[in-house]
Amino acid sequence: MSKGKSSAEKHEEAAVPVKTSFGSRLRRYLLTGIVVTAPITITIYLTYVFLTFVDGHVTRIIPDEWYQGFYRETAIPGLGLIVAVAFFIIVGWFATNILGRFIIRIYEYILDRMPVIRTVYGAIKQIFETIMASQSSAFREAVMMEYPRKGVWSIGFVTGKTEGEVQRVTEEETINVFVPTTPNPTSGYLLFVPKKELVYLDMTVEEAVKLVVSAGIITPPDRGQKNKRDKEIRNK
């Protein structure tokens, strides 16, 4: 991992333009900040959870004063979100500089030499770089399929085209589909479904998530029916 390019460098190469507007630069810095910060933050969090479990909540790695400092209630509503966005933008800007890239290479070099942590960090980093990439097709399409049995339909999200050994051992073209649970869409199942068995929906991913979270109470508008009516009107 250390011999390759850092997350910030890869994200910078993916970003196009030499001359960009101020808003475009801010957006690039924000995305770069998230890509750089999220993997290491999640890795540290998972490591802390594991160590806390082993210690049986007897020993605190971080003093209680630090927790109280971080989670103290704010007087201004929404201040936490503003600070978080500003923090990601600053990290993204810093990660695009020579000093920032050097620091990223150092901590990735250190993590690369930690047996278990390097695996967790590498997996999380790859997931975030794939999802945040502009050319990524992950979670951009909502689909339906007959699951868990014929006649019963489930909604899912396409995370990409199946590749590698999984595609090799299957006879047909297969698609990776994440089927979320209700009401918590962050958990679910990964299915490898033949493409011909998928029904691609016109609703957006956001609308599909609302449908899942609300357990079917919030039903998005039927754009397919509307497009069909508009086409019929134009043909008259």
Q: pLDDT (tens digit, 9 = 90+) per residue, 25-58?
A: 787 778 777 777 877 888 788 777 776 665 555 4
Residue 169 tokens, joined: 């051992």
CB-count burial class (<10 Å; 0-12, 13-18, 19+) for 88? buried
Based on its alpha-carbon atoms, the radius of gyration of the chain, rounded to whole angstroms, reads: 22
Q: What is the pTM of this model?
A: 0.48
pLDDT at 87: 77
Q: Which residues contact 148 (CB under 8 A, 6 or more apart)?
A: 154
What is the arithmetic mean of pLDDT over 97-117?
82
pLDDT at 74: 45
Examine the pLDDT at 1 and tell me if it is beyond 60: no
Determine contact, residues 74/81, Cβ cutoff 8 Å: no
What is the arithmetic mean of pLDDT over 190-214?
92
Determine contact, residues 180/188, Cβ cutoff 8 Å: yes
Nearest to 92 by CA among 44, 38, 28, 40: 28
Determine contact, residues 109/2, Cβ cutoff 8 Å: yes
Cα separations (Å) of 57 from 40, 60, 69, 72? 23, 7, 20, 22
pLDDT at 153: 96
- More confident position, 233 or 147: 147
Q: Taking all residues of the chain, what is their mean pLDDT, rounded to a whole number?
A: 76
Round to whole Å and give the CA distance between 95 and 93.
Answer: 5
Round to whole Å and give the CA distance between 205 and 140.
Answer: 6
Q: How confident is the model at residue 146 (pLDDT cuts 50, 70, 90)?
A: very high
